[in-house]
Each structure stands twice: as C-alpha cells, then as structure tokens.
C-alpha cells in the first residue's frame, strides 16, 4: 500500500472566488495554469464572509461544500501565488485568515483525492452558514452582479453526477 505524503499534492480544491467561471481575475489566472478535472466536494461547512466565503472541516456527512478540482503541474509556483492572494503567505501578518491544508475531496462517484484546500482559520461563531454548500448559488441570490457564470447555470451537487 502506497503511503500518502501529507505535505505534497498536485491537486487543488477551490470553492469561492477561485472557482471555474467566476469573474475574478485570479479565477482566470488559475484556469490558465492548471487543469480543471471537474466539480467535486469537500466534507465541510461553508460560511459567508462578505465578498468571499470560508470553509471549515466537518465530520457530519451531510455537510458538503461544492467546488472545483484542479490538477496543478507546478504546485510550488501556483501555491505561492495563491498563498499571497489568500493572504496566508510567510510575508502576511499572522494570524492568517486562511490555512492551506491537504484534505480528502471527492471527484466523481467514488474517486477521492488528497487536495490542497484553503481552510478558514478564524472563529465562525457569528458567521452565516451557506447551508447549500454552493457559493455560486448563494452569491447569485444575495448579490446579483457579483457572480457571473459566463452563460452557464450554477451547477449543484447531484449524487448521480459525482
């Protein structure tokens, strides 16, 4: 049995402004430098932080966060840039709002990958939970014009699709 290196992964799970088809320039930057593998989900809870979301791990099976999974061929360069974007690089003041961690994510019906995920690293007590787990769907309802899907409808987590 092959052991898993908890410090390296060529996969990245994104759930907010970095998701495929988001209008943010960093979403486009990422899509030009990584291979989109498809929609997937992370076992966690999604919170509305205002203009962007944050995710925390959850042990509850029904807590799923929908996002996109990318394969990154040059993880050092890409992750260094994303760390600066997420303000969790070694240059950024602590405590960081996010912590990058390798976590299991689901792609397809049965494929589990160990991917980098930016976890929210602050208290969640007074935050609004996005119970659908889908930032696109919640943002589209709450702030029309901030999220545009380039002609696509927001995709939802459907068991037979994943």
- Helix 75-85 vs helix 25-33: angle between axes, to the nearest 10 degrees? 170
Predicted local confidence at residue 2, as pLDDT: 42
Could you tell me the pLDDT band of residue 131, with boundaries at 50, 70 and 90?
A: very high
Paired tokens of 150: 């380039």
Quote the CA–CA distance of 142 and 112 in Å, as a whole number: 32
Q: Which fold has domain 11-142?
A: Hypothetical upf0131 protein ytfp (3.10.490)
Predicted local confidence at residue 18, as pLDDT: 97
Could you tell me the pLDDT band of residue 6, with boundaries at 50, 70 and 90?
A: low
pTM above 0.85, yes or no: no
Quote the CA–CA distance of 39 and 111 in Å, as a whole number: 12
Please state, in angstroms and as integers, the Cα–Cα distance from residue 20 to each residue in 8, 30, 62, 136, following that order.
23, 9, 24, 10
């Amino acid at each position: 049995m092959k052991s898993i290196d908890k410090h390296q992964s060529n996969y990245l799970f994104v759930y907010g402004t970095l998701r495929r088809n988001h209008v943010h320039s960093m979403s486009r930057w990422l899509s030009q430098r990584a291979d989109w593998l498809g929609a997937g989900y992370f076992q966690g809870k999604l919170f509305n932080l205002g203009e962007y979301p944050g995710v925390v791990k959850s042990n509850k099976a029904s807590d799923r966060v929908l996002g996109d999974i990318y394969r990154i061929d040059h993880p050092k360069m890409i992750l260094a840039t994303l760390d600066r974007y997420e303000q969790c690089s070694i240059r950024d003041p602590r405590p960081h709002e996010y912590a990058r961690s390798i976590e299991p994510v689901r792609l397809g019906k049965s494929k589990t990958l160990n991917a980098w995920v930016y976890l929210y690293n602050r208290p969640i007590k007074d935050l609004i939970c996005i119970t659908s787990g889908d930032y696109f769907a919640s943002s589209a309802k709450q702030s029309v014009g901030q999220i545009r899907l380039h002609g696509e409808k927001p995709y939802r987590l459907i068991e037979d699709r994943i």
